[in-house]
Amino acid sequence: MKRIDAHLHVFAKATTEFPRQTDDLFPPEREEPVEKLLAEMEKHHVDQAMLVQMLGEDLKHHAYLRHCLTSYPDRFLGIGLIPPQCQNPEDHMDRLADDGRIIGFRLGTLGGPRDPFAPTDVRQFATYRIWQHAAKHDYVMWLYLQAVDAHLVAYMVDAFPQVRVVFNHLGVCPGVGKFSWDEKQRPHVDSPDFFTTMHTIHRLARYDNVALHLSGQYAFSKEPFPYQDLEGVHRYLLHGFGPQRLMWATDAPWIYEKPGYGALLNVIGELLPNLSEADHAAIMGGTAQQFLRFPQVN
């Protein structure tokens, strides 16, 4: 069974070779290097992974991500970021994706009307050009949206049925003031409203071009691993999207210490205990292989 970790992060110390944004949480000397990830992947027989850019949207900030993708071409694909005020997003996207290793771009907002009753024209959305360009070049849209954007996605997916869309972290769209960093410097979402997720994002299961990560449990659960309070959410997403559009991911590095990379290999089996072997294999890597087109590895 091929295993693909469909969403995680690496970053280097801030240097001239690998510039990145720094702040109190991510001082220049902090790093989560790709070698550490590779050691965990080797140890736990994970074949490939999707590296998702963080700590900077500019082209230069992607230097370490591109270094990792070039250094280990059979192991990784990448997801880039786009500066919010980018004047020429098409050029930015193409320059990052020029060698085919960055296959898509992560968005945190769509930039449409906040009122669901307002007339909605996707051409007026702030990210319309990004979606339009993604449709033209087959880039993947990688979504971790705010709650205020949840109802807007359906309009974009409807307008661009050829664009592959991946919702991160159970499709949760954190509300204003609900996202924070916990004492272990991990993302934490306070009281995520799964009811909202189920009633909004889950409806998008109808679109064949929409997939979703089973990940981020540590940030949402009120229980320790294996996060049994999220069993119902996993079951519900499975029934909606099916194993062919669900992807396991660890969201490393935030989980290295607790519950540990190896423990997360078992999270799907724990929360979806009745999966067939084939369905389990799909979620653990088969779906990512097909939907994200990871290279075949011998």
Contacts to other proteins by CB under 8 A: 114-117, 119-120, 146-148, 150-151, 154-155, 157-158, 173-178, 192-193, 195-196, 199-200, 202-206, 239-241
Taking the CA atoms of the chain, what radius of gyration do you get in angstroms? 18
Tell me how far the alpha carbon of residue 163 is from its chain's centroid: 16
Which helix (H) or strand (E) covers residue 202, if one does? none
- Cα–Cα distance for residue pair 228/236, rounded to 1 Å: 14
Which CB, 55 or 189, lies closer to other proteins? 189
Task: Give whichever of 138 and 208 is closer to other proteins, judged by the CB atom.
Answer: 208
Residue 247 beta carbon to other proteins: minimum distance, rounded to whole angstroms: 17
Q: Are 140 and 103 in contact (CB under 8 A)?
A: yes
- For the CB of residue 19, give the shortest distance to other proteins in the complex, in Å: 33
Q: Nearer Cβ to other proteins, position 73 or 116?
A: 116
Min CB(238)–other proteins separation in Å = 9
Residue with smaller CB distance to other proteins, 63 or 150 = 150
Taking each continuous run of H as one helix and of E as one strand, the counts in the chain are 12, 10
Task: Kindly state the smallest distance separating residue 269's Cβ from other proteins, in Å.
Answer: 21
Largest CA distance in the chain: 52
Taken in order 156, 159, 160, 164, the sign of the CA dihedral is positive
**CA gap 182, 280 in Å, rounded:** 31
Q: Which is nearer to other proteins, 206 or 258 (CB)?
A: 206
**How crowded is residue 276: how many other Cβ atoms within 10 Å of its Cβ?**
9
Query: C-beta of 213: minimal distance to other proteins in Å?
Result: 18
